[in-house]
Amino acid sequence: MLKYAFQCGAIHTNMYLWHLSNQICKRSYSSKIRNIGILAHIDAGKTTTTERMLFYAGKTRALGEVHRGNTVTDYLTQERERGITICSSAVTFSWNDHRINLLDTPGHIDFTMEVEQSLYAVDGVIVVLDGTAGVEAQTVTVWSQADKHKLPRLIFVNKMDRPDADFEKCVSDLKDKLETQPVCLQYPVKDEDGVLAINDVITLERISWQQKDLGRSYENVKLEPSDDLRQLQEKRNELIDKLSGLDDELADVVISTESFDNVDNGLIQRALRRATSQQKVVPVLLGSAYKNVGIQRLMDAVNTYLPAPEERNQIYDCFGTEVAGKVFKIVHDKQRGPLTLVRILRGEIKRGMRLISVRGQAEVVSKLYEPLADEYREVSAVQSGDVVICAGLKSTVTGDLLTSSHSALKNAQKRLKQSLGASALKEDDDELDESNELFAIDPQIPDAVYFCSIEPPSVSSQTAMEQALKQLQREDPSLRVSYDSVTGQTVLGGMGELHMDIIKSRILSEYKIDVDLGPLQIAYKETIDSPSLTTLSVEKEIAGSKQNVSITLELVKNQNELFSLDKSPENLPNLNTLRPRILQVLRKGSISALERGPRVGGQVVETQIRLHSVNIGRGTADSFVMATAAQCVQKLLSMSGTRLLEPIMSLQIVAPSERISGIMADLSRRRALINDVLPKGDRNKMILVNAPLAELSGYSSALRTISSGTASMTMQPCGFSSMNSADESLAELRSQGLE
Ligand code: GDP
Ligand code: MG
């Protein structure tokens, strides 16, 4: 019998050597780096799995408390802590001579923007499943996000210690609900006491973990001839068969040896790595984070099957040796101020270096740190492929692309255009999209769908609160802050209740201001129904000087420009005499009136203000002109009336075919628009549907009830849409808090 024992001592030695080499303060060897995210449905075991990885990698000395109890609060606390401590946003550890940068990716819909940003920074992800639940609602969401970023994945089926865990069901869920090609690298085995061990398909070994030392050591034992071995051999053959259909190198060997038994393990792994990278298959591993089973093999699999940075993001080649870095997160540190987390895609970032963001700001990196669990280790330079924390960047915003200089940026753009020009012949739309995204001056920020007022505890802390909000907005551009001049309140716009809640608790913990939030309301927008034109003349005496403005404005439906001049022959002479400064004042005043529509105070959109003529009396102050322009727009809006636009969510619901009619019946009561119903796997169907946000409060639990827990769904905001007048009236009542 062959026996190998793995002890953690070796790992500690590795770590020590790695730290020694790191004292030279330069990091490179990008083929040995893995930037990964870990995604899961709430409660699948993301926290526990991460904690175990850090423990076995020697980053933490003791296993953290595993919290139980109310899952929502568990999630809330966890989310509240996120961003406050840097360790939960990015953490680095070494494993078998590789460096793994694990980036936190919040799973909640309220943080879509953040997840998006961190997915730009990773090269692969681990998706954790709860072995007793299979593919759940949020699993579908994170899966489609990973799809969008074309990320290779590993599956970790967790909680396999539990008697009700069902590995086979998880695998069939993966096929049916996610339409993937799962390849099982392991199968669970339990002894008579129910203790979990793992049969390894490639090595034909049984792996069992020692509980005495919290699973630090484990044993690999070759299976003796038995039914178990025969079954496992069959699985191994199936694996080779499947992979040889996808990988030529493996296929050649199989054909020439005419047998599966002689296929070398290394060869299988290499074929699997290629197929995983190309997202043709998804390797499935299993274990129990809580019972310390399987985690080391999961980390091995990260190194073996997930791609190194240099194998991805070829689009950034256009930067050559210049710096290209993606800002995926900004956190606020009490001592160090704002810290910017950057994934370096090309080149090298050094301490003291000047960087510019694509939006044009130049800033100096005062210090560089690497993200270790609970400390900041200063480094002098970090190279392409790695993740680094930069101090000193004060105007950088999450989502920015950083590079060394304006000329570096111009050259990169030129080179990219050339290479795309060549490939445009191949009609590669995907690549064009990517390039647009790459150089996008404004990262795509989702529209706020909810808003609420925010109030400081006293007037004296108003300024401090505004400062705090400004900083928080840099970290999270999906947070909108505005000032309502009618009510005199500061208003927050965002993605949901949890989003606002976290903002509130962060202002308290990081800025020591105990703000009050008003009730959460749906962010309706307003638009005009038909064009209207009016003249407003105002005359007043202010402090002895006469103020006099007469202005004619028109509102028309238009998506593009907010403000234009009516250059018809009768107006042109008047407009031609206007000073550019006055034009700016008029523009600013009238546009400001679009911030708040007359009906529910929603932003007025798809509406253009057209200036026909204006006459301003001598000595009239600019502020008076501005106010009159705003007043004139308000008059027009109330004259013509507005229609409401409501936020719409797009949902993808996957459920067994026999549940579909019940789900559809409920959706029809929610003013939903069914776009499509598609078959998904053998037994499931997928409903693609748009529904108003107003009708979706508590929908995920309603869906759970209707489908007896068999349905899963993903939901994201997808724009605004007009409503009928009955629904409009309801919305008005709702916005006055009367419903
Ligand atoms: P997260 O929401 O995905 O971060 O999940 P957590 O790691 O917080 O785990 C949620 C709950 O599941 C906690 O009560 C954990 O103790 C429990 N849990 C996590 N992993 C396992 C496991 O492997 N087996 C069992 N039985 N429970 C687990
Ligand atoms: Mg958790």
* pLDDT surpassing 70 at residue 477: yes
Atom 16 (ligand 1): residue with closest C-alpha?
Answer: 66
Q: When comparing pLDDT for 116 and 65, which is higher?
A: 116
In this prediction, residue 86 carries a pLDDT of: 33
Query: Ligand 1 pocket by C-beta < 6 Å: which residues?
Result: 40, 42-48, 66, 68, 74, 158-159, 161-162, 288-291
Fold of 32-311: Rossmann fold (3.40.50)
Mean pLDDT calculated for residue range 7-22:
37
Q: Tokens 């398909």 correspond to what residue?
A: 201
**336 and 376 in contact (C-beta within 8 Å)?**
yes
Q: Tokens 């510019």 correspond to what residue?
A: 356
* pLDDT surpassing 60 at residue 66: no
- The 10s digit of each residue's pLDDT in 327-376 is 988 877 777 878 899 999 999 999 999 999 877 778 999 999 987 655 67
In this prediction, residue 61 carries a pLDDT of: 63
**632 and 590 in contact (C-beta within 8 Å)?**
yes
Distance from Cα 66 to the centre of ligand 1, integer Å: 8
Token pair of 118 as six digits: 């961190």
Q: When comparing pLDDT for 655 and 67, which is higher?
A: 655
Band of the pLDDT at 739, cuts 50, 70, 90?
low
For residue 130, the ligand closest to its alpha carbon is 1
Out of 159-163, 172-176, 632-636, pick the least confident.
Answer: 172-176
Mean pLDDT calculated for residue range 705-725:
86
Measured from the Cβ of residue 459, the count of other Cβ atoms closer than 10 Å reads 8
Mean pLDDT calculated for residue range 687-699:
90
Distance from Cα 375 to the centre of ligand 1, integer Å: 26
Which CATH code for domain 450-518? 3.30.70.870
* pLDDT surpassing 70 at residue 323: yes
Distance from Cα 308 to the centre of ligand 2, integer Å: 28
Atom 17 (ligand 1): residue with closest C-alpha?
Answer: 45
Distance from Cα 737 to the centre of ligand 1, integer Å: 39
- Specify whether domain 526-640 bears CATH 3.30.230.10: yes
Bridge partners (DSSP) of residue 128 are 40, 156
Residue 11: strand, helix, or coil: helix
* pLDDT surpassing 70 at residue 430: no
**Cα separation, 547 vs 98, whole angstroms:** 73
Atom of ligand 1 nearest to the CA of 78: 4
118-127, 414-423, 707-716 — most confident range: 118-127
Nearest to 465 by CA among 519, 506, 518: 506
Q: When comparing pLDDT for 372 and 71, which is higher?
A: 372
16-20, 120-124, 181-185 — most confident range: 181-185
Q: When comparing pLDDT for 420 and 629, which is higher?
A: 629
Q: How far is CA 209 from CA 90, 219, 713, in A?
A: 28, 6, 36
- Specify whether domain 314-410 bears CATH 2.40.30.10: yes
**97 and 33 in contact (C-beta within 8 Å)?**
no
**Cα separation, 215 vs 209, whole angstroms:** 5
Residue 191: strand, helix, or coil: coil
**Cα separation, 511 vs 461, whole angstroms:** 11
Mean pLDDT calculated for residue range 104-108:
62
In this prediction, residue 333 carries a pLDDT of: 74
Distance from Cα 45 to the centre of ligand 1, integer Å: 4
Band of the pLDDT at 678, cuts 50, 70, 90?
confident
Residue 87: strand, helix, or coil: helix
Distance from Cα 166 to the centre of ligand 1, integer Å: 16
In this prediction, residue 423 carries a pLDDT of: 57
**653 and 686 in contact (C-beta within 8 Å)?**
yes
- Report the percent of the chain where pLDDT is more than 90: 52
Supply the mean pLDDT for the chain.
Answer: 85
Atom 6 (ligand 1): residue with closest C-alpha?
Answer: 45
Bridge partners (DSSP) of residue 493 are 451, 480
Token pair of 538 as six digits: 């105002």
Q: Tokens 């749906």 correspond to what residue?
A: 522
108 DSSP assignment: S
Which CATH code for domain 644-734? 3.30.70.240
In this prediction, residue 404 carries a pLDDT of: 92
Cα dihedral 581, 587, 590, 595 sign: negative
Question: What is the 3-state composition of the chain as percent helix, strand, coil, each rounded to the nearest 5?
Answer: 40, 30, 30
Q: Determine the residue type at 614.
A: V
Q: How far is CA 132 from CA 68, 196, 395, 508, 739, in A?
A: 17, 14, 46, 38, 40
Band of the pLDDT at 111, cuts 50, 70, 90?
low
Let me know the angle formed at the C-alpha of 667 by 664 and 668, rounded to the nearest 5 degrees.
90
Q: Is the overall model pTM greater than 0.75, yes or no?
A: no
Atom of ligand 1 nearest to the CA of 293: 23
In this prediction, residue 515 carries a pLDDT of: 95
Atom 19 (ligand 1): residue with closest C-alpha?
Answer: 45
